[in-house]
Amino acid sequence: MKSIRINPEAEQALRENRPVVALESTIISHGMPYPQNVETALHVEEIVREHGGVPATIGIIDGVGVVGMNKEEIEEFGKRGMSIPKVSRRDLPVIMATGSWGATTVATTMIIADMGGVGFFVTGGIGGVHRGAETTFDVSADLEELARTDVTVICAGAKAILDLPKTLEVLETKGVPVLGFQTHELPAFYTRKSGLKVDYEVRDYEEAAKIVKAKREMGLSGGILIANPIPEEYSMPEEEINAVIEKATAEMEEKGIRGKECTPFLLARIAEITEGKSLASNIRLVYNNAAVGTEIAKAYCGLK
């Protein structure tokens, strides 16, 4: 049984040292409603191409990790949505052995990207330490993966539904560099500001690429997080989004929602309460990350 399959276009690009950018499938199946999820996923691939990269959307099909799904496969992930299991590291053995489909989170997209030799990965926001984690112990496996797998993740910060100060603390403990792309402040997904500082503000694509290279040359394990703020014109008013997050979190607690259902519930509920405004912001920030992430991957390929 073969665990992964790389599409020929991505494989050739990797061989020729051209930029390949990994994309995840949980954001498609669990992070956004149909049909916006499919439209977004396909448009993100176009943006990667416009910037000179080869997109590789990752998902698990019949127990095989696919690096670079085709349009029909992406559409399946969008249409089937939540009926495709959300797969994190601990779920991989069962999904592979039973020959199931699986939507890959940040953690599993990193694992499969790394197996395929893809070093850059663009998404919306990583998972992190949940609010109330001191009693629930809900800390996303994404953080552990960043600590161990060598993939650079370009995102819009950690999702604002999380406890951002605690998330930064864990990343620090685990030795994950957190870089701000042209900002010294950790962006908070729907908004540009969190009041928290990143480790270092990178000025341009090349500087980011050089930091990735330096880490690899030292043989340091783990990934790098590059946080790229949502463009001002698409960001949400801070008080508005914070109030909505609090409401959605309270509802989640009332309903007793736990574990891997938390993030999808919160994202969907926040989109409902804001009448689609948060979804529109979410889509825009992913587009922006795709452009920046591809440019960084390209700069990396160009380094001597």
What residue ranges bind ligand PSU (CB under 6 A)? 24, 26-27, 30-31, 105-106, 123-125, 127, 140-142, 260, 263, 267, 282
- CA gap 115, 12 in Å, rounded: 16
Q: Are 119 and 263 in contact (CB under 8 A)?
A: no
167 touches, from Mn ion, ligand PSU, none (C-beta below 5 to 8 Å by class):
none
Partner touching 123 among ligand PSU, Mn ion, none, CB below 5 to 8 Å by kind: ligand PSU
- Residue 24 known to be catalytic: yes
Q: Compute the least distance from the CB of residue 260 to Mn ion, in Å.
A: 6
State the nearest-atom distance from the C-beta of 213 to ligand PSU, in Å.
Answer: 25
| Of residues 180 and 264, the one with the C-beta less far from ligand PSU | 264
Continuous H helices in 137-276: 141-148, 164-173, 205-217, 238-255, 262-273
Look-up: residue for tokens 């073969």? 2
Q: Is 9 a catalytic residue?
A: no
Catalytic residue among 24, 45, 76, 295: 24
Between 139 and 212, name the residue whose CB sits nearer to ligand PSU. 139
Minimum CB distance to ligand PSU, residue 288 (Å): 12
The least CB distance from residue 34 to ligand PSU, in Å, is 14
Closest-by-Cβ residue to ligand PSU is 124
CB 60 within 8 A of CB 104: yes
Cα–Cα dist 180/198, whole Å: 6
Cα distance between residue 112 and residue 129, in whole Å: 23
| Closest of 62, 71, 66, 14 to residue 42, by C-alpha | 71
Q: Which residue is nearest to Mn ion, using beta carbons? A: 138
Of the pair 238, 251, the CB lying nearest Mn ion is at 251
Residue 194 binds which entry of Mn ion, ligand PSU, none, with Cβ cut-offs from 5 to 8 Å by kind?
none
Q: 10 Å Cβ neighbour count for 139?
A: 18
Which residue, 206 or 261, is less far from ligand PSU as judged by CB?
261
Catalytic option among 11, 76, 159, 260: 159
The closest alpha carbon to 68, from 140, 153, 135, 4, belongs to: 4
Least distance in angstroms from the C-beta of 24 to ligand PSU: 5
Which residue of 11, 24, 76, 138 would you call a contact of Mn ion, by CB under 5 A?
138
Structure tokens at 203: 């000025």
Nearer to ligand PSU (CB atom), residue 245 or residue 299: 245
**What is the C-alpha to C-alpha distance for residues 89 and 41, in angstroms, rounded to an integer?**
22
Give the list of residues 6+ apart from residue 67 with CB closer than 8 angstroms, or none: 4, 5, 6, 7, 10, 22, 56, 58, 112, 113, 115, 116, 118
Could you write out the DSSP letters of every residue in 166-194? Answer: HHHHHHHHTT--EEEES-SB--BTTBS--
Q: Nearest Cα to 202, choosing from 169, 168, 170, 228? A: 228
Segment near Mn ion (CB under 5 A); pick from 27-35, 49-57, 136-144, 274-282: 136-144
The minimum distance between CB 161 and ligand PSU, in angstroms, equals 9
Interface with Mn ion, residue 295, by CB under 5 A: no
- As annotated, the active-site residues are 24, 159
Q: Point out which residues bind Mn ion (CB under 5 A).
A: 138, 140
